[in-house]
Amino acid sequence: MNKMIVVIRGGNYEKRLVTAAAANALKTGAEVILAREPQNQHDPNAITAAVRKVDSEHPEIHEDYPIGYVAREVAFVLAQRIDGGQKYSAKLLSWGHASVNVELEEVADDGPH
């Protein structure tokens, strides 16, 4: 499996990182949800990122906290791969004042079932 580290930007916008931190959602290893946003008026390759906080007593209950967008120069390549069907798992590595580092790993296609 291919792994890469990508930067998520825009954490200061609308206090995204502050909100996620206040909810105690920013934890190393937390699941990060990526979603394509092809209708984004600023960047048709936009990929949003949200950190997922799972209820420890009820794992089926979770809440997603937006933390920003995959850096534009990386989103240009990733968007094409995602649109082509490539799946990724993502986890939070570290965060700072306005950005987050996320580890992406390609998820293998098991083929038809």
Kindly state the tokens that stand for 109: 């296609």
- State the virtual CA torsion across 39, 61, 113, 110 in degrees, nearest 10: 70
What is the mean pLDDT of the segment spanning 52-56?
85
Helix (H, G, I), strand (E, B) or coil at 112: coil
pLDDT tens per residue across span 26-37: 899 999 999 999
The letter for the amino acid at 28 is T
Structural domains present in the chain: 3-107 (3.30.70.2330)
pLDDT at 19: 87
What is the mean pLDDT of the segment spanning 42-48?
96
* pTM summary value: 0.87
In this prediction, residue 1 has a pLDDT band, given cuts at 50, 70 and 90, of low
The letter for the amino acid at 78 is L
In this prediction, residue 22 has a pLDDT band, given cuts at 50, 70 and 90, of confident
